[in-house]
Amino acid sequence: MLNQEQVRQFQDKGYVVLADLFSTDSMQALQDEAATIVDEFDANSTRAVFSTQDQSKSRDDYFLSSGDKIRCFFEEDAFASNGQLKQHKALSINKIGHALHTLNPVFRDFSHSATISQLARDLGLLRPQIHQSMYIFKQPKIGGVIRWHQDASYFYTDPITVLTFWFALEDATIENGCIQIDDSGQTYPLKEQFKRYQDDSTELVQLDTRPWPADEQALPLEVKRGTLIVFNGLLPHFSAPNLSHKSRHAFTLHMTCASSVYARENWLQAKPSPL
């Protein structure tokens, strides 16, 4: 599936960009399905969870119990001070997570396709298994910032094997908050580990004090609809807020190799789905 140059780029830089891998129709099918999920979502059912700052406990519970469910999460800035949505529900959702790949037939078929399975193997996962799926909206005007991080902080395995598959369902540009990466080719140590303890408290543990790259040094990956970006768990990346009028829909999968040991402290403990 991948040529030698693409595999080498992945090994050297920690990421690979596969332009125009998917058709417009296949991207549209995922967008249509996400729109249906949002349409059927009762915004009032979880509004209280998100509408005030002091309800972080119920907000955490909503998140921490979502590993084997399909749940909608609001944007931070979706609500006015009176608790009402500032814009239509469909323009207020930050993401849908985290088990679209097992519970929704459209996303399940896409996620388990022969193309994705082969790519995972080409990129070094001998026994790929999917842990998490997310549909990310990056809404116009309110799509929030995602700070610098490494995905292995959230999918820690020994050895580190997590791969992120990032599918551009719409054109991603600097203006609408495309993903930005460290392109230096340096291997960063794992800087943080997000741990979930027995009592469901969580902690972002600092493992290494090396600073994140400067924002100005990041490489923005401006990609067209239908492009797939794959990157490894140590690649630092972030995305700026979407201040534009255009959304930036993306679908993501996080997978590891079943031969690596998945940490008990990872927040997501749902049974992985073999590819």
Q: What residues line the site for Fe ion (CB under 5 A)?
A: 151
What tokens appear for 252 in the block? 């993501």
Q: Which residue is nearest to Fe ion (CB)?
A: 151
102 or 252: whose CB is closer to Fe ion? 252
180 or 273: whose CB is closer to Fe ion? 180
33 or 151: whose CB is closer to Fe ion? 151
* Nearest distance in Å: CB 235, Fe ion: 9
47 or 101: whose CB is closer to Fe ion? 101
* Nearest distance in Å: CB 148, Fe ion: 10
95 or 196: whose CB is closer to Fe ion? 95
Q: What is the DSSP string of the chain?
A: ---HHHHHHHHHHSEEEETT-S-HHHHHHHHHHHHHHHHHS-HHHHHHHHHSTT-HHHHHHHHHT-TTSEEEEE-GGGB-TTS-BSS-GGGTEEEEEE-HHHH-HHHHHHHT-HHHHHHHHHTT-SSEEEEEEEEE---TTTBPPEEEE-GGGTS-EES---EEEEEESS-B-TTTT-EEE--S-PPPPP-EEEEE-TTS-EEEEE---PPPPPGGG-EE--B-TT-EEEEETT--EEE--B-SSS---EEEEEEEETTSEEPTTSS--SPPEE-
* Nearest distance in Å: CB 105, Fe ion: 26
* Nearest distance in Å: CB 251, Fe ion: 13
151 or 192: whose CB is closer to Fe ion? 151
Cα(181)–Cα(201) distance, integer angstroms: 30
Count of positions (residues) in the chain: 275
* Nearest distance in Å: CB 151, Fe ion: 5
* Nearest distance in Å: CB 152, Fe ion: 10
